[in-house]
Amino acid sequence: MRQTRNPDRKVPTRRISFEESFQDVPRHFAAEGNLILSCLAASLSSVFPDGEDFFVRSVRHYRDEITDPELKRQVSGFIGQESVHGREHRAFNDRLDRLGYPTKRFERITKKGLALRERALSPESNLAVTAALEHFTATLAELVLSSEETRDLFGHPAVRDLFVWHALEESEHKAVAFDVYKAIGGSERTRVVTMNILRFGFVISMAVGVTVCLLGDRDSYRRGNLRRSWRTARRSPFMTRDLWLQLRDYNRHDFHPDDSDTSQLVEKWRTVLFGEEGTLNDKLATSAA
C-alpha cells in the first residue's frame, strides 16, 4: 500500500563538513553585528543536535511498521540527513561556545528535556512532536530559501551556508515524518494538540534562550546596542504574522506538508549548492577525497 504522498521524493544524504569555515566566525556574526539575531541563530542551533537525534529515534521506532518501500527509502534518507545536521550544528555550537555563547549549556538542557519527555510519553506522542517540529523547520526553511533578505540576516558566509544547506534538506524531507505518522495511524487530535502546545512552547523557549544569551554578553549593556539590534530584528521576516499563520496551517484537518509546493525552490537550491558549479561542492566529503 502507498504510504507516501510523493513516491519520487529524493532525500539524499550528503556527507558535508563546515567545520573549517566556522573557525573565522566572529562573536557577533549576524548582519551588522546584530546582537539579537546572533543570539537567535545560536539558540536555534543549540537545540538542533539533540533535537535531530530525537527526531531520528522517534521515526526509527516505527521503521519496521512501514510497508511502502518508497517511504522506507525516504525514512533512511531522513535519518541520514538529520544525523549530519546534528553533527554540523554541534560543530557550530562548539565554535560559538569558544566565542562565549551558552550553546553547550543549552544543548545539555535540550538533551535532558527530550530524554524526560521520551520516557514519560508514548512513541506516538514523540512522533507527533517530530512531525510538528518538522513543519516548523519546513516553514523556516521555505522562508530562508525564498528570501534573500532573510539569508542576508545570517551575516557571516559560513553561518549563512550552514543554514541554507540545512534549509534545503529540511525542504527535501519535510513530509517524511508526517507520512510516517499517518502510516502508523497517528491520532488527529494528538497531532493538532501537540502543535498547539509546541507553537507557543517553541517560541517561548527561543525567547528565553535569546534573553539568557544577551544577558551573558557584555556588549548588550553598551548604550543603544540592544535598541539598534531590536529595531532590525523586529522588522525581520522571522517576526511576522504570516509566519505564525503558516505554522497554524498545520492544524487544518486535511493538511499535508506538500500543500505548500516547494519543489521548484528545492530544484533551484540543489543546483546552486550542489550542481556542477555548486557553491558547497568543496565541502562535500567525496570532492575532498
Q: Based on CB atoms, which residue is closest to Fe ion, 31 or 138? A: 138
Residue 34 Rama label (left phi>0; alpha psi -120 to 50; beta) = beta
Listed ranges 101-109, 133-141, 144-152, 222-230: which one lies at the site for Fe ion (CB under 5 A): 133-141
Nearest approach, Cβ of 137 to Fe ion (angstroms)?
5
Which of positions 145-184 make contact with Fe ion (CB under 5 A)?
170
Nearest approach, Cβ of 84 to Fe ion (angstroms)?
9
- Distance from C-alpha of 164 to C-alpha of 156, rounded to nearest angstrom: 12
Closest CA to 226 of 36, 61, 41, 45: 36
Q: Based on CB atoms, which residue is closest to Fe ion, 137 or 190? A: 137
- The stretches of the chain forming alpha helices (DSSP H) are 19-22, 35-60, 69-98, 103-120, 123-146, 148-153, 157-172, 176-183, 188-215, 225-235, 241-248, 263-274, 285-288
Nearest approach, Cβ of 181 to Fe ion (angstroms)?
13
Q: Based on CB atoms, which residue is closest to Fe ion, 36 or 280? A: 280
Nearest approach, Cβ of 130 to Fe ion (angstroms)?
8
What is the per-residue binding string for Fe ion in 41-80, x denoting contact by CB under 5 A? ----------------------------------------
Q: Based on CB atoms, which residue is closest to Fe ion, 46 or 137? A: 137
Nearest approach, Cβ of 176 to Fe ion (angstroms)?
8
Say which residue the cell 575532498 belongs to: 288
Q: Based on CB atoms, which residue is closest to Fe ion, 82 or 161? A: 82
Closest CA to 135 of 84, 202, 77, 88: 202
Determine which residue in the list 36, 38, 71, 85 makes contact with Fe ion, applying CB under 5 A.
Answer: 85
Listed ranges 63-71, 92-100, 106-114, 137-145: which one lies at the site for Fe ion (CB under 5 A): 137-145
Q: How many residues bind Fe ion (CB under 5 A)?
A: 4
Q: Based on CB atoms, which residue is closest to Fe ion, 169 or 217? A: 169
SS3 284: strand
Q: Based on CB atoms, which residue is closest to Fe ion, 85 or 90? A: 85
Instruction: Tell how far CA 10 is from the center of its chain.
Output: 18
**In this structure, are residues 10 and 81 in contact, taking their beta carbons and an 8 Å threshold?**
no
Q: Which three cell numbers stand for residue 205?
A: 523557549
- Distance from C-alpha of 109 to C-alpha of 223, rounded to nearest angstrom: 31
Residues that bind Fe ion (CB under 5 A): 82, 85, 137, 170
